[in-house]
Chains A and B, each alone.
Chain A
Amino acid sequence: MEQFVQQLINGLSLGSIYALIALGYTMVYGIVKLINFAHGDIFMVGAYVGFVSITYFNMGFFPALLIAMLFCAVLGVVIEKVAYKPLRNASRITALITAIGVSLLLEYVVMFFAKAGVRTYPENVLPNLEMTILGVRITFTQVCIFAVTIALVILLQFIVHKTRVGKAMRAVSMDKDAAQLMGINVNNTISVTFAIGSALAGAAGILVGVYYNSIDPLMGIIPGLKAFVAAVFGGIGIIPGAMIGGFSIGAVETMVSGYGSSLYKDAVAFAILILVLIVKPSGLLGKNTREKV
């Protein structure tokens, strides 16, 4: 039982990170119907920006988090304007291939400037505290990751449901033409969506940095793919789905590592993807919407 709860706690921290990345995947898909395969690399860039802010500029965790989010938001908007916007009316496979190109570009640009090797975050970015409740060990870092994630998700829900720009985002993702006819500027709305999604990935990057300490230019590939699995699992395009998917994939992964063998944790995540695609391709919360005449 203790072991189970312990793995669940570990799964929550890992799942938080997947959820943050998955949110960006799902938001971007929702609005431009593009699987942004460069999204995992934006997460990696966030980790590096956090690393630079903390080690070279001696910033604390929260200022560094903010800087990483801002940097990634701008990066996301630039990528959209330069790489995806000119292809908006092209076939979807064209945009998808471009996304893979952007992904490689980000990986190797970072490798060029930051060297290919592993970098380590300083040890005590967050106080090295931990507590043990009924034999279950919880670290302060884990609490922080979870708290930051929940705060960001609440903020996101607020933006999407209560603000003008959030309503515009939902309207554009449902029906671009109709949204335009309401007077919504579609281009600006798409930019805002990329900015928010990328900022969340940037936050995930710095959280991974403080959780695992080591970062490298290719660190975004596997978490990016798993977050993609999480987004599909929850129902791509659906924001609460990405949350549920992220936490589920995180929990499954730590359970597999804890009870089985950590060698299989990646395989299990992708097996879930295959299963979802066979059993319910629209995902856990996905609905097949019918059109009314």
Chain B
Amino acid sequence: MLEIKNIDVFYGVIHALKDISLTVNEGEIVTLIGANGAGKTSTLRTISGLIRPAKGSVHFNGEKISDKSVQDIVKKGLSHVPEGRHVFASMTVLENLELGAYLRNDKKGIKEDFEKIYARFPILEKRSKQHAGTLSGGEQQMLAIGRALMSRPKLLLMDEPSMGLAPLLVKEIFSIIEDINRQGTTILLVEQNANMALSIAHRAYVLETGSIVLSGSGKELSQSEEIKKAYLGG
């Protein structure tokens, strides 16, 4: 479904991604784990078109998207939940969700999706008239996910959805991710919480200073000695 072929990304003179290749198949949860600054966020931002690779290409359903605008990529069914949630703080929860459906015209479908998202996150319905900036961190994360789902994505990119959340909420967010996947959305998940990410992922890639150093099934990697030492705390 998603295929990244040998991309190189630079920030000025900093070589952020070095010859990265990865694939995500339809129906999978694939996770990208690694330390801070390894290039996880840069990879996602390159996929969604916010930054351009200097070399290599990104293909989505067989079509090259790395030269398309962000809007076009969203239109094709790719949605990105950015790191740090990035909800529109001085807009209401309702307006945030409406913006998620910005490119859609099917009123009926949008209404259905509103109902679905409110069913999944009842707290968002309760707070629908409240400004997004007044929500707690966990609620904002739910809003960011809900907003991304409003575009009816085929592939959902999620950047550190567990960041800064209490352990109980982290568990909840991960079970939501699994649930979204079960309902047919393919997921590429970037996480620092390697333990949790590997436990729900079908496959995983390990990123280290801009290069992929390991890949395999979620199970394999969570049992690998190297991974245990480097990312799982023993």
Contacts and interface: CB of A to CB of B under 8 A. Distances in A.
The main secondary structure of chain A at its interface with chain B is helix
B100 A182 contact: yes
Contacts of B140: 292
By CB atoms of chain B within 10 A, which of A177, A180, A182, A289 has the most? A182
Contacts of A179: 99
Contacts of B216: none
Contacts of B151: 182-183
Which has the most chain B C-beta neighbours within 10 Å: A170, A178, A183, A293? A183
Contacts, number: 68
A251 interface: no
A180 B50 contact: yes
A184 interface: yes
A183 B74 contact: yes
A181 B100 CA distance: 9
Interface in B155-173: 163-164
Interface string A128-147: 00000000000000000000
A178 B88 CA distance: 8
Contacts of B61: none
A183 B152 CA distance: 13
B102 A175 contact: no
Nearest to A181: B80
B214 interface: no
Given A171-B88, A174-B88, A178-B88, A293 B137 contact: yes
Counting contact residues on chain A (CB < 8 A from B), the size range is: 10 to 19
Interface string B65-87: 00001110011000110100011
A178 B86 contact: yes
Contacts of A184: 71, 99, 102
B230 interface: no
Contact of B70 (A164, A183, A293): A183
B98 interface: yes
Contacts of B69: 185
B86 A183 contact: no
Contacts of A292: 133, 135-137, 140
Interface in A160-198: 164, 167-168, 170-171, 174-175, 177-185
Interface stretch (B1-9, B89-97, B193-201): B89-97
A292 B164 CA distance: 10
B103 interface: yes
Given A181-B80, A292-B140, A170 B91 contact: yes
B82 A181 contact: yes
Interface in B39-85: 48, 50, 69-71, 74-75, 79-80, 82
The listed residue with most B CB atoms (<10 A of its CB), out of A168, A177, A178, A179, is: A178
8 contacts: A167-B102, A168-B102, A174-B90, A175-B88, A178-B82, A181-B80, A181-B148, A182-B100
Interface of A: 164, 167-168, 170-171, 174-175, 177-185, 289, 292-293
Interface of B: 48, 50, 69-71, 74-75, 79-80, 82, 86-91, 95, 98-100, 102-103, 133, 135-137, 140, 147-148, 151, 163-164
